[in-house]
A and B are shown apart, each in its own frame.
Chain A
Amino acid sequence: MAAATAAADAHADFGMPERLVDRVRAQLHARAVLGPLSVLVLSIVVFAVVSDHFFAFNNFSLILQQSMVVATIGIGQTLVVLTSGVDLAVGSTMTISMMAMAKLSAGGTNGVLALLIGFVVGLVCGALIGFFVTRFRLQPFIVTLAALYVYKALELWYSRSANVRGTDISPVLKWTGNTIHLGTTQIPYGAIIMLAAFAAMAYALRQTAWGRHVYATGDDRESARLAGIRTNRVLLSVYLLCGLFCALAGWILIGRNQGGDPQAVTKDYNLDSIVAVVIGGTSLFGGRGRILGTLIGALTIGVFRSGLPLAGVSDIWKDFAIGVLILAAVLIDQWVRKVAR
């Protein structure tokens, strides 16, 4: 009897919405990647129509190369945002890890060892942030803002703001810039590493208990704790991984630049990684989103940065377009989340 009423109610409560708008919203709610993917496809179609040079394999290879560093950082950023945090120190963490690798190698350290030490630097940077966030229950925004400056200063001090030339460092570190040929197109190993990292984290988030715990912690930290999840451990693991992916991005950047550039810390990596996450459909309130959305987001930024100049639009409007994209993404997120109410 009770089951019958429940069934009737369930049907009334969640029957397929009648209006098209509501159906679209329900779909976006259920499939988080759908929105970002349609934006990416749409922008590719538009740029292909307005520019003769855009729709070419070489151009796509270029977009991939320009996006791979931001996309790799974006993996770590996604993890942090899923736990309803944000990491403003990703650019600093990446640069300090990268300079550690480059300088050690230039100083005669074995290439593999220099690489490993670089990764350890990234892990330590993440661990410190995680420690302050979990132990003192500080806002990730504030902790990572502080870390942004501290790591940046340490990086500039350590590197003496001097470039490390590619000729001085081990081929192991520059390997990420080597390319494999796919027909006429060249794909750097860095891009392949980036894609593999996305695949691995997509698996970890979707198919393991740890992944479920990351979502739960971001969705409702207190509920997750009451359900028996050690949320502090989850948060710590997320910041550690974020540091690790920043170091990975640093390695990829050495390959791309064929050297160590200490000024990378002043570039837009922090904001770009957040933009990739947001355009990718991950909610800044945590607990919802897909990591593949971040890959799509990073590629979308790349498509705009490449497509607008090819379409003859002045440089200034690239940032304008990105800004509009962010706003659109956040508005859509807000609208989609209303399904719940």
Chain B
Amino acid sequence: MNTPTQASTAGDPPAGRRPILSARNLVRRFGRVVALNGADFDLEPGEILAVIGDNGAGKSSLIKCLSGADLADEGEVFLDGEPVRFRSTLEARAAGVETVYQNLAVCPAMDISDNLFLGREMRKPGLAGRVFRKLDYAAMRAMSRARMSELGLMTIQTITQPVETLSGGQRQGVAVARAAAFGSRVVILDEPTAALGVKESRRVLDTILELRQRGLPVILISHNMPHVFEVADRIHIQRLGRRVAVVTPQTHTPNEAVAIMTGAAPV
């Protein structure tokens, strides 16, 4: 009943593949403002799904409802087919939905390894860890190093570098690595390239592609059409609080996508 009238069937999920994260008929009101008006959402395993939409289209509200930062008034969210109801970002993360926020959420004075393990530090085995709660810095650094170099983000010497001494793109890299490092099932990236220069953006896009290489599905919220069309497998177009279309870079041009997004073109 609430199936969006599709502009193309190219964006439809291939038959037989169950979405890893999906939502049906989400409604979110703020007073008289309706931010989400029966929005649907589907993320396929292993894909990069871009979410685009004009300001006020309900992009952020949708993402907040998926990442646990906000609760929808109506509608359902499914993770791997199971209905879920995240009351906090912590619950979402515990279930494997990691979000990289626009403000990065890293602690600038702390080093890369500390940031990667923030809130889930590893203790030393045995008495030192159990009784004296001693942290296992060596293990955490080794693991951080491994993760960062897997993503092609860091040289081994720099793992104890405070994050504030890194460039914007490298900080973004730390945030992405943190989201990807801990057995997560879905990574949500909110405007990861918005504050970055050309070269820095390049590196972040490479990292996103790297995540897909490793089979991790990514939701990419972005205003940057060239970036979206370069990396996305499918593009979810949000307009007036609902999903109006799902297109692919193969079937639509950026201009057509923007036309759908702004309502200039009929869906």
Residue positions of A touching B, CB distance < 8 A: 1-3, 5-7, 9-11, 13-14, 29, 203, 207-210, 212-213, 215-216, 219-220, 222-224, 226-229, 287-288, 339-340
Contacts of A224 in B (CB 8 A): 107, 118-119
A-B contact pairs, 26 of them (CB 8 A): A2-B203, A3-B149, A6-B152, A6-B153, A6-B203, A10-B154, A10-B158, A13-B166, A14-B158, A203-B132, A207-B132, A208-B132, A208-B134, A209-B121, A209-B123, A212-B135, A216-B110, A216-B118, A219-B109, A220-B108, A222-B105, A227-B115, A227-B119, A228-B90, A228-B120, A288-B109
A208 & B107 in contact (Cβ 8 Å cutoff): no
With contact pairs A3-B149, A215-B109, A227-B119 given, residues A208 and B93 touching in the complex (Cβ less than 8 Å): no
A228 & B105 in contact (Cβ 8 Å cutoff): no
B152 & A222 in contact (Cβ 8 Å cutoff): no
B107 & A220 in contact (Cβ 8 Å cutoff): yes
Q: Is B164 an interface position by the 8 A CB rule?
A: yes
18 additional A-B pairs beyond A7-B155, A29-B162, A287-B109, beta carbons within 8 Å, are A6-B203, A10-B158, A14-B158, A207-B134, A209-B135, A212-B135, A216-B110, A216-B118, A220-B108, A222-B105, A224-B119, A227-B115, A228-B90, A228-B118, A228-B120, A229-B119, A287-B110, A340-B164
Main secondary structure on chain A at its contact with chain B? helix
A3 & B161 in contact (Cβ 8 Å cutoff): no
B103 & A219 in contact (Cβ 8 Å cutoff): no
A340 & B161 in contact (Cβ 8 Å cutoff): no
A13 & B167 in contact (Cβ 8 Å cutoff): yes
Q: Is B165 an interface position by the 8 A CB rule?
A: yes
Contacts of B181 in A (CB 8 A): none
The CB with the most chain B CB atoms within 10 A, among A2, A6, A209, is that of A6
With contact pairs A208-B134, A215-B109, A216-B118 given, residues A14 and B101 touching in the complex (Cβ less than 8 Å): no
Q: Is B114 an interface position by the 8 A CB rule?
A: yes
